[in-house]
Amino acid sequence: MCKDWITLSLLAGLAVSLTGCVEAERKLGRGFNNMTEFTRLGELSRSVEQHTLSYGPAVGRTRGFVNGINRSIGRTMVGAFEVVTFPIPSQPCFHMDDPVYPDSYKPGVGDGPLMNTDHSLSFSGGETGSVFPGSRFKVFE
């Protein structure tokens, strides 16, 4: 009987702590995004670019590089902290929500079958009925 009450109270405590799952989900996603900073190298590229534009290429390659490494490490650590503590509702301690890219690069939606679904329907100029052999009719030719 006592074990049932302990289990029930633990489940109730877990349910209360996970209330507002949208914020926990957002915090977990932001944490994973920030943890992968070294694969994207956005902070490093932006820091080198901004220091080069402001102070010249020599400063951009040295001080900008060191500043970018420091910011990348900081972003990765904040991401790891947010992944570990995502069930606990809190305000972000650092405002590192969106990934950072250099001003000279604007990422877009990747091209491929997942994002370019209308290609085989010929809305974007692909073959009409490309799954059928011998279908050579193209809309924009």
Domain range spanning residue 40? 21-100
The structural domain count of the chain equals: 1
* This prediction's pTM: 0.60
Residue 114 belongs to some domain of the structure: no
pLDDT tens, residue by residue, 113-138: 666 655 555 555 555 555 555 555 55
Rounded Cα distance, 37 and 100, in Å: 9
Residue 7 belongs to some domain of the structure: no
Residue 128 belongs to some domain of the structure: no
pLDDT tens, residue by residue, 56-107: 999 999 999 999 999 999 999 989 998 998 888 776 666 666 777 777 777 7
Rounded Cα distance, 9 and 136, in Å: 66
pLDDT tens, residue by residue, 5-49: 788 777 766 665 655 566 888 888 889 999 998 888 889 999 999
Residue 138 three-state SS: strand
Residue 11 belongs to some domain of the structure: no
